[in-house]
Every structure is written in C-alpha cells, then in structure tokens.
A and B are shown apart, each in its own frame.
Chain A
C-alpha cells in the first residue's frame, strides 16, 4: 500500500511538473498594404502577398527523442475579415541537420481549428515557415487586420 502511494505521488509529480516537449516560436509577419501596390487606377491590390521564406522560426525540443511529434496550426483572430485567407508552409527542415521531419511543404490554409501541419522526430532548431495571404482588396474597409497563429506540438 505504501509503495502504491509512493508511485502515485511520483506519477502525479511527473504529470504536474514535467514538460515533455517545448516549442519556441519567433517572428511575426507585419505587412503594410500601400496604395503604391496598385499598379494603375482601376486596379485592385495584387491577389497574393507572400512573406519571407523564414518569417517565423519554430524550435521543437522534446525530452524523448524517439517519439513522433505532431505540429498543429490554427489562428485566433484579433481583427479579421472573412475574405482574408492566410496560408502557411514549411520551407526547410531547420538548422541542426535533423531530417526526421515530414509534411507541411505546400501552403495550407490556417483556419480557426487546429489542423495537422507536419510531423517530426527529435530536436529541431529554427524550422523556417513562410506565409501567404490572399483576399486583400480595396473593397475591404481600411483598417489593421490581425490574427494570432498558434502552433501546438504534441507527442
């Protein structure tokens, strides 16, 4: 009985205090859409804007280097418009030479629901992400449109 209580204590401590995986996200995308983007009177803004290929960097650090990690992505809107379509893709594997990473290489729309982005195994540093936005138009009310892109890692 005493042993069981001890094991229970360890398990609870482990659950509460250990963090088996961490993700570090750096790099926002802020873009000013200027009137000079319109080539000539009568035209709308370009249909697509694209960020730098390494606009956001993800570092994933698991305690267990053998488990598959799933990375999910979703957005949480701050001020948004339904016409806007924000997409994300992974442009490389990261900088530490770990090639155990799959998926996420073509643009996928970021919705308000968590969606599978890519999977990987082990420690990855500075995985570069690129964004694309469509739907920006003079038809939209002039304001600042903003959303928070949430990355969740799970294993």
Chain B
C-alpha cells in the first residue's frame, strides 16, 4: 500500500515537469581558393650589366630586383597539392647571360602548408616549379610575407655579350594543381 502511494507521488511529480526539443542546422560550404599576387606590385624590374673601369669584370648594377609572392590556397582534402611555376612568357634573354631567380624560404604572418621552395632557377620559356606542396594556406599580404623572389643576371659567356643589346621580357607566375 505504502509503495503504491510512493509510486503515485513520484508519477505526479514527474508529470508536473515538461520538456520539449527542436533543432536548426548550421551549414558552411567552403570553396576552393587559388589566388596569387606580387608585392609591392607587378611593375617592371630593370636589370643591367656594367663595369666601373676598363678591364674590370662586368657585374649587375645593384637595383631593386626583388618581388614578394603572396598567395591564398584552399584545397579539398582529397585533392593533389599545388605548386607555383615560373616561365618567360615573352621576349628573349640577351646572348651570353642567364636570367636567374632565387626564392627565399617562406616568411611572414601566414599559416598552413605554404610549400617548399626551389632555391635558384635559370629562367626559360619552359615552365619550372619554384614552390611545390602547397595545400590549405595563406602567406599574409604585402612585403615581408610569403616568398621573396630575387632576379639577377649571370654572365656565362663574355664573348657573346653585346653591350648595346637590351631586351624586355615578360615573366609569368602560375599557381596550379599538380
């Protein structure tokens, strides 16, 4: 009898409480991103060779020969890594010299898998990888962020040099899926 009373009291207590539930969904669809930029800008660099005195070795005149490579990249987890390649798109390097480019290690405020650089390349009309294994990453924007690219000239054959020769070259950098 007592037990029955306890059960009744318990049920009455339970019945005085109420509970209900509802829900909404939050969904975020992320997109693939592949953005590339040169800093401070993509203006022309001028490289020249000169000697101070007759008989001296010709050397590259020190000039502003640097650019910074910034990028943002977002990839599917199943997608291949990305790379950045460089090639001479237009024009021809004057005879007797190489146009070279060195790529620094990554610097600045960026995060993620920003890739691995190839230190020095001789530029040509064939596409060459300068940074590989880029996945989800951003370098930060502006000078001091990403990879510093340094262009310079190297003489490989003095007898081919023509000091009256000049050339305008167009160089392209491309961020691609491998």
Contact = CB atoms under 8 A, between A and B. Distances in A.
A98 interface: no
Contacts of B137: 138-139
Interface string B1-38: 10011011001101111111111111111111111110
Contact of B72 (A22, A41, A58): A41
Contacts of A14: 11-12, 15
B176 interface: no
A42 interface: yes
Contacts of A27: 24
A25 B29 CA distance: 22
B94 interface: no
B28 A151 contact: no
Contacts of B4: 4, 8
A95 interface: no
A41 B23 contact: no
Given A20-B17, A35-B31, A42-B72, A148 B23 contact: yes
A18 B19 CA distance: 11
Interface in A60-106: 62-64, 75-76, 78, 84, 86
A53 interface: no
Contact of A15 (B15, B36, B141): B15
B78 to A, nearest CB: 9
Nearest to B36: A41
Nearest to B10: A11
B30 A140 contact: yes
Interface residues of A, number: 66
A105 to B, nearest CB: 19
A1 B2 CA distance: 11
Given A28-B27, A142-B75, A144-B30, A41 B37 contact: yes
A12 B10 CA distance: 10
A75 B72 CA distance: 31
A142 B19 contact: no
Nearest to A133: B28
B70 A41 contact: yes
Contact of A146 (B20, B26, B32, B145): B26
Nearest to B74: A138
A47 interface: no
Given A35-B74, A138-B33, 15 more contacts: A14-B11, A19-B20, A21-B18, A21-B19, A30-B27, A30-B29, A42-B139, A58-B22, A133-B26, A139-B111, A140-B30, A141-B77, A145-B28, A149-B26, A155-B18
Interface of A: 1, 4, 7-8, 11-12, 14-15, 18-35, 38-44, 49, 56, 58, 62-64, 75-76, 78, 84, 86, 131, 133, 136-155
7 tightest Cβ-Cβ pairs between the two chains A and B: A20-B18, A42-B70, A25-B22, A41-B37, A42-B141, A41-B35, A141-B77
